[in-house]
Copies of this chain bind each other. A is one copy, B any other.
Amino acid sequence: MEEKEISQAVIGRLPRYFRYLGELKDEGVERISSQDLSVLMKITASQIRQDFNNFGGFGQQGYGYNVEYLYDEIGRILGLNRQHSFIIVGAGNLGRALGNYMNFERRGFIFKGMFDKDPALFGEKVRGVEVMPMEKLDAFVRENSIDIAVLTLPKAGAEEAAKRLVQNGIKAIWNFAHVDLNVPEEIQVENVHLSDSLMKLSYNIDRYEHEQTAEV
């Protein structure tokens, strides 16, 4: 099937469809209408149909969608039938939390290596993967054709690490460092700026309280 250029907003919603369909499948549901999926996911049925039409519509024909087929297709579109190797740069608490997250493996993300500059951590293992010194990063990425680097190190080291990763052929960076990276356009970057998300929450708490007071 030829896929046209899909907007990042649509792509951003696919994992959520995938998650809900996985749950329906686990519950033994075989078919679901866009109407029922709409109620479940709290988005409009027309949004769902519009999103799915980007991929040929997945063949709803009055009977609703075939849950398992839809789950598999969306997984395939997301590339979850392929394997992607990843390393974690920064073996602090967050890096270790991500390394320990088994679910990634189920989705085809294979944890290959972990790096830190702190000698006290060298040789420590996270789910069987050893923490290595930063000096070994470049060769490791090149020789093992690593696809994805997870950056869980302080801002100060993140820019330099990103530069080295790019030079050694990394394809994508999952960035948890509190900085927007300067990398070539062909490198895929997903930022998870945790503080930003907490600040948004802070705003919305205060806003809501302000509104309540104003209404009194």
Contact = CB atoms under 8 A, between A and B. Distances in A.
Contact of A205 (B12, B180, B188, B205): B188
A107 to B, nearest CB: 7
A19 B178 contact: yes
A87 to B, nearest CB: 14
Contacts of A94: 94, 97, 101
A198 B79 contact: no
A128 to B, nearest CB: 15
Contacts of A97: 92-94, 96-97
Chain A interface size band reads 35 or more
A201 B186 contact: no
Interface of A: 8, 11-12, 14-16, 18-19, 41-42, 77-80, 82, 84, 92-94, 96-98, 100-101, 103-104, 107-109, 147-148, 171-172, 174, 178, 180, 186, 188, 190, 192-206, 208-209
11 contacts: A11-B204, A19-B178, A19-B196, A80-B202, A101-B194, A103-B178, A103-B195, A171-B208, A174-B197, A188-B201, A190-B200
